[in-house]
Chain A
Amino acid sequence: MKLRNILAIARKDWIEVRGNKYAWVPMLIVPALFVVILPLVVILLLTKLNVDPNILVSDPDLDIFYSSMPASISQFLDPSHPIQFAITIILGFMLAPMFLMMPLMYSTIIAAESFAGERERKTMETLLYTPATDGELFLGKVLAAAVPSVSMTWIGFIIYTLILNLAPFYEFGRWWFPLPTWLPLIFWVSPALILLGIAFTVLVSARVPTFLGAYQTSGSVVLLVVVLFIGQVSGVVYLSVGVGLILGAILWTIAAILSWYAVRSFNREKLI
C-alpha cells in the first residue's frame, strides 16, 4: 500500500469536488444555516426582540420533559434566568442532534462525488487501468471524503462555540459552551457517522450510477439524525455524555460492518 498513491487520489478528488457546485454549495448553505443563522436568530429573538423565554421554563406541557431529564443535563439549566435557560435548552441541548446532520451530509456528498461521480463521468475505467491497487483506490477515496468532513465538522463546531459564547455574552457573563454532552457527539459520534456515511454511499454508488442519484439515496441515512432529534425533543432519549459514548460505539460498529461490505464491493471487476 503506497501512501503517495492514496494521497494523490484524495488530492485529485478534492479538486474535483471543488469544481462541482452541486457538491460544495449545499456544504456551505446547510452549515451556514445551522452554525451561524439559526443560533443568531434564536439569540436575537430572546435577547433583543422580547420573545418571552418563560414559555420554555414554565409551560406545564414540558414538565415531563424536564422531570425525566438526567441530572448531568439539568444541572446546566437555571430556571431563575429564563433567557439563559431558553438559549441553553434550544441551542445547547435540542440542536445537538441536528448538528450531527452536517458530518453525515459532508461525507455522503463527497463520497457520492468521488465514487458515483467518477463512474458517471466515465473516468473510473481509466483509473482502474493504473497500477494503483484496489486498496489504494478505496483508501484514497475514503480519505478524500473523511478528511474534509471531519475538518468541516470541527471548524463548524468551533464557529458555533464562538457564536454561542460571544453573541449572548451579556446574558451569561461567562464562557458557557460547549456543554460536556457535546464533546462525545463531536469527537466520537461525528467521525463514526462520517465513516458510516462514506461506507453507505460506496455501497449505494455500486448500484446508482450518478452523483445526484447516489447523493439522494445515501442522504436517507440522515433519518438516523432525525430519529435522534425527535427522541431528544420528546424526552425519549437524552444525549448525555454516557448516551453519546454508547451511541458512538453502536455507530462505529455499524460503520465497521458497512465498511467491510464496501471494501468487498470495491474491486475492479465490480466497478467497471
Chain B
Amino acid sequence: MYNRHHMRENYSSIKEKEIENIITVTQLVHRYGDHLALNGLTFEVGRGEVFGLLGPNGAGKTTTIRIANGLMHPQSGEIRVLGFDPCQQGTQIRQRSGVLTETPALYERLTAVQNLEFFGTLAGMESDILHKRMNELLGFFELSDRARDRISNYSKGMKQRLALARALLTKPELLFLDEPTSGLDPEAAKQVHDLIQEVRHQNGQTVVLCTHHLYEAERLCDRLAIMARGQVLASGSLQELRAQAAPEIHVRFSFRKPLSSTQYERLAHSTGVIKCGQSENHHVLVQVAEEAVIPGLINSLVQSGAEIIAVEPQLASLEEIYFRLQQRADEVRK
C-alpha cells in the first residue's frame, strides 16, 4: 500500500539538494486553429524529481510534451528544457530525452530487437553499446525470450514494457511518460508503476509523468501540476497542494465508549474547533483550525473522562484536491 510520507520524504531530500530546474515553462500559449490548447501554462521541473502533469483529456499535457521536445512551436511564452530552447535546439533535447507516447507506437512488423536497434541507431548509439544496453533492458523488462518475435504477436502489457524500454534505451537525463498505463489492466499497470519507480531509483532520472489517473500520480510523483484547459490550476508537492486547495484539518477521534452529550458538547465548543461531526460508533470527526489545537483537545477530552484509543489526522487525498481545484476552475469560468 502506498505511503504518503514516502512522497514527502522524497521531496524533502530533493529540496535539500537545491533543485536545479530541468524544465522551465513560462506563460506558454499554443493554439490548434481556434482551439486554445495551452493558455499561459507555467511550471518548473527540478532535476531528479518525478513531476506529474495531472489533468483531464484535453488539458494540454501531450501538447506540452510535444513542445518540450521541439515537435511544435508555441505561439508565445518561454520554455527551456535541459538548458536548451526547444524551438531552436530540438535535436539537442531529443538526444537527451526519452519519450513514452500515449500508445506504444512500436513497429509491429519488426521484432523487439529490430525496434530497439532502429531507435538506438537514430539516437547515435555505437553498435556494441547499443546491443549491451538492449540485452540489459530486454532482461529487465522480462522480454528476452520473445526478443526476436514480431511485435504484432505481443500482448498489450508486453508492448507497453517494450515502449518503456525504448524510452530508456539511451539512459536519457529526462524521461517523458505520457499516460504510461493507458489501456492496461490493473496487473500490467502495477507492473509499469513498479518499473517506473525501480528505474527512477536506479538511474536518478528526471521524469515528467502525464496522467489522468490520480492514484498513479499520488503513488509516483514528488510534485504535481494540476491542469485544466491549458493552464496550471495549482502545483507543488501533495502537502503544498493540500495547503492550497484543502487547508482545513480533520481529526478522527476514536473512543473506548461513545461520548456522553456533555463530553460531545465540550469537544464541539473547544477553542480551535471549526466543526464537529456527529458521534458515530465510538468515533467523532472534528475539523480544527490548525494542528496546534489537537494536543489541547486531547487533554480536555481526557479531563472530561473520555477514553481515547486513537487520534488520526484525516488529510485530503489527491482526489479531493484535484476535484476541488477543477470545480473552482469551472466556477471561475462560469
Contact = CB atoms under 8 A, between A and B. Distances in A.
Interface of A: 2, 4-5, 8-9, 11-12, 15-16, 18-20, 121-123, 125-126, 128-133, 268-269, 272
Interface stretch (B17-25, B121-129, B205-213): B121-129
Residue among A5, A20, A128, A133 with max Cβ neighbours from chain B (10 Å): A128
A268 B121 contact: no
A142 B263 CA distance: 83
A120 B110 CA distance: 16
A132 B122 contact: yes
B106 interface: yes
Given A129-B71, A130-B122, A269-B72, A12 B107 contact: yes
Contacts of B101: 125-126, 129
Interface in B100-155: 101, 103, 105-110, 114, 118-119, 121-124, 150
A103 B179 CA distance: 43
A128 B71 contact: yes
B80 interface: no
8 contacts: A2-B124, A12-B114, A123-B105, A129-B94, A129-B97, A129-B99, A131-B122, A269-B71
Contacts of B122: 5, 8-9, 130-132
Contact of B124 (A9, A123, A131): A131
Given A15-B110, A126-B119, 6 more contacts: A16-B110, A122-B103, A129-B99, A129-B101, A131-B95, A272-B71
A16 to B, nearest CB: 5
A16 B109 contact: yes
A16 B118 CA distance: 12
A126 to B, nearest CB: 4
Interface string B175-186: 000000000000
B105 A8 contact: no
Nearest to A140: B122
Contact of A8 (B70, B91, B121): B121
Nearest to A137: B122
Interface of B: 66, 69-73, 90-91, 94-95, 97, 99, 101, 103, 105-110, 114, 118-119, 121-124, 150, 166
A130 B105 contact: no
A121 B107 CA distance: 8
Nearest to A269: B72
Contact of A4 (B97, B107, B121): B121
The 8 closest A-B pairs by CB, nearest first: A19-B109, A126-B105, A130-B122, A8-B121, A129-B99, A131-B95, A131-B94, A132-B122
A162 B127 CA distance: 43
Contacts of B150: 19
A232 B71 CA distance: 49
A131 B91 contact: yes
Nearest to B72: A269
B105 to A, nearest CB: 4
A241 to B, nearest CB: 43
B70 A20 contact: no
A234 B118 CA distance: 51
Contact of B66 (A2, A130, A272): A272
Nearest to B70: A268
Contact of A268 (B72, B99, B107): B72
